[in-house]
Structure 1
């Protein structure tokens, strides 16, 4: 919803992603968490809590759109990612959910640290409306106050780690120890898949990597297999066993957790022996621990004493000269009189389970890695309405495909400053895309643009050698050709503070114009409607970066016939 009167539940990729997830596991749960809000929600205040009724209405309309448009049930909803919470808003959100038929959508709070515990402990009404306390990056520990409160505890965002063997080992350890140490019964990875251009924030931090859509190349990374040790042999609704009776630390270091199905027919035990030096997580408390190879005796009692064997799945994270072995099915572990012997070496995961449904997926070799192909062009015809344009990595603003007749084009839709999660973005009144390859140096970027008469931006820009995205977008360097309605500016920054050259330029809103920027070595050529407005020197630094396009201020702008080539 770019505007309060405009409900559109077709834009973006998340609807598709949720439906694809449901195809694979109909029982999967869906959790919606706002990271930012449209500016109109805050009524110019910059805060979603300025009018809590309006914000609750916005969020619940999104939940309703998921259900009515896509038949997707949002099971959980958060408050605001890693930002201060507001008690009045949380209570209002619960009331609006209930009033509109979403009593089963549960509230998680507050997706930051454990600081909401104090308010929960002294406010019974707040306790009643919060289903679970969600903490981000708890380092496998919760506070004693959180544990004593009696609420469900979640690590509602975790991992955020390079997805190599160390990342896999970190994730293996966190998945177990969040419950062993912190009594957290849910652990959610950020992020699901690394599908960002290399060097954008998080570009190598997904559970797997797929960041070359032009060729289909992907990498199935170690964290995927660490996840499988738990997710293939449990379901949402299974219960952890009690500490000391199926959950705890191993005698020589490492951890184990036991989980049982709701009907108590199945048991799964996950063990890990990740070492401190090889499983460091970015967000961990840096307390060193020791792990040694060990022989174990496993004893099953009570309901499980009659088990004769358990299926075994094995992973070895490859450190210290050992090869990596991921999610390998081994011979079942035999039990006699409820006991079995097992040897665990360092940096291993073992799953023992009564479930016989485990399967290591088989996939063909992925296409080979290739760089972004040049020349590249897109006229934006043939897209679905409101679809995101291919390869434009949107850092600030919102760009989607619209059409006039058969002619498709991209429009920047945001007309006022948003309420961002990333405070570094506060105050930058620009929309900004990057695309291509951060190693590009000598390139030419051209496109057609139009500034609508109503609600149009003050100008647009085309860029090359752009160095930065994400929360640091405001400080990006590069070569930027800004086409304003009364002049042009060539600068090395988005803010037009580091000016190389400026001069006369004019155009009328409502009509299409062509703009191009070509950089080669220490020279740039700027062309507007086939006329060269500058051909001269530029700084040697930055020497390389992405191509870029965007708007000089928030406001509508249309883009078409994008073309990129070497210069």
Structure 2
């Protein structure tokens, strides 16, 4: 393949220059960064340096969700204004703080904000535009007064919903004419569009002069292709075009290379190379100049909608652990060598792939490359992928620059080749000396390279060990006022999937956790929000109890007003997950698995505070009210489902119910913790008729599953005292099991299960090394993960002390 890098074809118009990478802080995805900031400040600084530093991803743009206390996909973002007369509070949520801290690293980062829904008082207003503008205005002012932030952009259209040209025009006019603002709002540019894979906004702008003048940027989500109307807006009217919401890689590169068919861990749809191709293709096929990752850093818990999707994983604020995932190294191929303000070289940008998968992916690509040049120095860089099973040789002819004969460094990322999963990531492979402006390089199968005239050192990249949050873990919410005011009242380690759980001071001067959203303030849904629930802790907790004091708001509807305390919560996408004991204001209780009641009864409640406790001991679940056992369920209980390990959770209905003295503690005499093996991890061996899906639903751990048919077997080596097997089963499989070479269970009928539930368990083994072999004798078996119970000595090696007293 011959590529002519002709610098005379560089696109130098301001609106076509490369804008770099963006980060979207939305949908609860940044929530745990607050805890890194206040509990692990050194690690927080490291993460931000990797995101925004010049030697990291050099992210140049941040878009923050204007929250409305509804679930905008993977969690809720709190509203800055819950009523028309409330002073806007941008300390709620992580987004505005993240933007402020990023600007300390790079003051030139540009800022944008976008809404998925709006506060109820806006929607119910007689003049919605005026109320919405007040919300925008007060939020912008609060961001300036609190953090000194000046926003460069605001997005007009509700995320991924129909455009409202009249609102865009109204917003533009009011920003331009507003007076008495702390900085010049007339300079704030408007982004419009924000649809999924479509560009209807472009046609609307060309047909509406006022809209054309109001919007400065058009953006679309999850597509690398635009249309002729959009290109006309860019070429003839000077509008910017952005890939304004885009995916991060979703693949579990640490294990999938064993089963993806090419040994790279990089080649799946939604994997590293697919996402790289989306970035490469966005300019030649769409004119797009900015790629906004959603999310760049995943700082929410596993099991939230779309989780296992990140450049950096940061979901253990108690230990400070974070992971520079495969996407991070992919993004370095761009960020280290192509800087904001560089020009695309039109003759050397191409992508021959097509939209595939769910329509968001780039598939069937052979030749995919993107070249940019520094207009001032003449330096240039070309990023190339190869998603085929054969090497591709590229010959480059460089003209129009004094750097045509400068040495070219070749940086490469490829699969492990027998070493560590990331051992061949972002390595300087060779330096090539052009002759008469020409040189050749070979791109290996399933790899990405950057050829560049820039000189850089690889540097060292942090690698930490994951550590479990230690039990007992308690929270009485008596944080310092300073701590709470800096975090919008958010307690430590919680992520809200519905409602808003914030620390308040009660009438007695005690700090308690309150659910703040009522039916009267519940905003219009963007998608679907579960009943209020927050979850916290470690999803490797197994045999433990959770208790909390609860106080009901005076609802006037005691049979409809409830609270619940839950455990083994591991699939936030479902809203209700794991086991919980629900208690309503009338004294009626329900023991639930997920949202399904298994047992019910009544108790007489105390005035004021009551205590709910839920306990899990292997396959037995118990519920207590005010210290009295009210229910017990086990394998023989109708409706029972075997739930694997998970976090703790607090539930409420849409009333101002309160919680205090939350305590999660181990059960005496039972193993409190597990370690989890993915079905693609080392130590798991398959024989017979197995198929391995290395890019599957986010409801499966690491988005992977393995399916075995009759006669197939899997052997799992583990060190521990027991094991649970996880998978969403249809209930048609029969298995035979063998433990350490001896028959264990013959003709075991596998029950029907949901995602992240256990279908088989063995407890009470001597601590040590064991091998479990499972053979499918009938039907088909879905295997997602194995959870290994750890004895105390094993656990202590994996713990990070997480129980803390209240902050001073």
User: What is the TM-score when the length of structure 1 is the normalising length?
Assistant: 0.84
Tell me the equivalent position of 1:123. 208
Asked whether 1:463 is paired with 2:566, we answer yes
Structure 1 residues 92, 8: CA separation in 2 closer, same or farther (over 3 Å shift)? same
Asked whether 1:82 is paired with 2:195, we answer no
User: For 1:451-474, what per-residue CA distance to the aligned partner results, in whole angstroms no more than 9, with x for missing partners?
Assistant: 45599993322123445323x42x
Tell me the equivalent position of 2:247. 159
User: For 1:388-416, what per-residue CA distance to the aligned partner results, in whole angstroms no more than 9, with x for missing partners?
Assistant: 22222210111223346984332222223
SS in 2 for 1:381: coil
Asked whether 1:273 is paired with 2:376, we answer no
Tell me the equivalent position of 2:720. none
Q: Kindly state the Cα deviation for residue 308 of structure 1 after the two structures are TM-superposed.
A: 3.2
Tell me the equivalent position of 2:343. 239
Tell me the equivalent position of 2:97. 16
Distance 2:612 2:666 in 1: 16
Tell me the equivalent position of 1:560. 660
Asked whether 1:401 is paired with 2:503, we answer yes
Indicate the larger mover: 331-340 or 227-236: 331-340
Tell me the equivalent position of 2:291. 187
SS in 1 for 2:289: strand
User: For 1:111-133, what per-residue CA distance to the aligned partner results, in whole angstroms no more than 9, with x for missing partners?
Assistant: 11323233222112112212222
SS in 1 for 2:145: helix
Q: Kindly state the Cα deviation for residue 227 of structure 1 after the two structures are TM-superposed.
A: 1.1
Distance 2:390 2:543 in 1: 54
Q: Kindly state the Cα deviation for residue 207 of structure 1 after the two structures are TM-superposed.
A: 0.6
CA contact 1:196–1:202 (8 Å) conserved in 2: no
Q: Kindly state the Cα deviation for residue 34 of structure 1 after the two structures are TM-superposed.
A: 1.6
SS in 2 for 1:74: coil
CA contact 1:82–1:421 (8 Å) conserved in 2: no
Alignment of 1:66-77 (within 5 A): 66-77=143-154
Q: Can you give the 5+ residue segments of structure 1 that lack an aligned partner in the other structure?
A: 276-289
Asked whether 1:485 is paired with 2:591, we answer no
Asked whether 1:434 is paired with 2:434, we answer no
CA contact 1:455–1:555 (8 Å) conserved in 2: no
Q: Kindly state the Cα deviation for residue 217 of structure 1 after the two structures are TM-superposed.
A: 2.1
SS in 1 for 2:194: strand
Distance 1:153 1:460 in 2: 47
C-alpha RMSD of matched pairs (Å): 3.1
User: For 1:27-79, what per-residue CA distance to the aligned partner results, in whole angstroms no more than 9, with x for missing partners?
Assistant: 2222212223222221189xxxx712211221232122212221112222222
Structure 1 residues 424, 249: CA separation in 2 closer, same or farther (over 3 Å shift)? closer
Distance 1:314 1:170 in 2: 18
CA contact 1:35–1:420 (8 Å) conserved in 2: no
CA contact 1:310–1:352 (8 Å) conserved in 2: no
Selected match of 1:501 from 573, 597, 600: 600
Distance 2:556 2:501 in 1: 15
Tell me the equivalent position of 1:170. 274
User: What is the TM-score when the length of structure 2 is the normalising length?
Assistant: 0.61
Tell me the equivalent position of 2:84. 4
Distance 1:455 1:195 in 2: 38
Distance 1:421 1:274 in 2: 42
Distance 2:112 2:599 in 1: 47
Alignment of 1:319-468 (within 5 A): 325-330=424-429, 332-356=431-455, 358-366=456-464, 368-382=465-479, 383-385=483-485, 386-403=488-505, 407-416=510-519, 418-419=522-523, 422-425=526-529, 430-438=531-539, 440-452=541-553, 458-466=561-569, 468=571
Distance 2:125 2:518 in 1: 12
Distance 1:70 1:536 in 2: 51
Alignment of 1:17-36 (within 5 A): 17-36=98-117
CA contact 1:372–1:437 (8 Å) conserved in 2: yes
Distance 1:360 1:19 in 2: 28
